[in-house]
Amino acid sequence: MTHAVVLIEAERDALTTLGGELAGLDGVAEAYSVTGEWDFVAIVRVPRHDQLADVITGKLVKLPGVSRTQTMVAFEVFSEHDLEAMFSIGQ
């Protein structure tokens, strides 16, 4: 499983709708509305590294209202939850 954190700056008109659109994208596990320089944070989880481009540059950045992004790909994941087990059901 490959994980990425995407920081998203939104146009003012998109602030009320973009969170739901982000969360609805395949590969986006979670989307948060946040304070500070960025408006949203999206957590992307995909089985293979090459799928990040499909989700982030192929879909996420093309959503209306997304004006700027910064992506951080995780080297390692540290969690109390067994994420691999949660996302491997039925595979």
Name the nearest CA neighbour of 43 among 83, 76, 3, 81: 3
Per-residue tokens: 32: 């948060």
pLDDT greater than 90 at residue 8: yes
The C-alpha atoms of residue 30 and residue 11 are separated, in whole angstroms, by 20
pLDDT greater than 70 at residue 89: no
| pTM of the predicted protein model | 0.85
Q: For 22-79, what is each residue's pLDDT tens digit? A: 999 999 999 999 999 999 999 999 999 999 999 999 999 999 999 999 999 999 888 7
CA distances from 48 to 1, 31, 67 (A): 6, 20, 26
| 43 backbone dihedrals φ, ψ, rounded to 5° | -100, 115
- Note whether 70 and 7 are within 8 A (CB): yes
The residue-averaged pLDDT of 73-91 equals 70
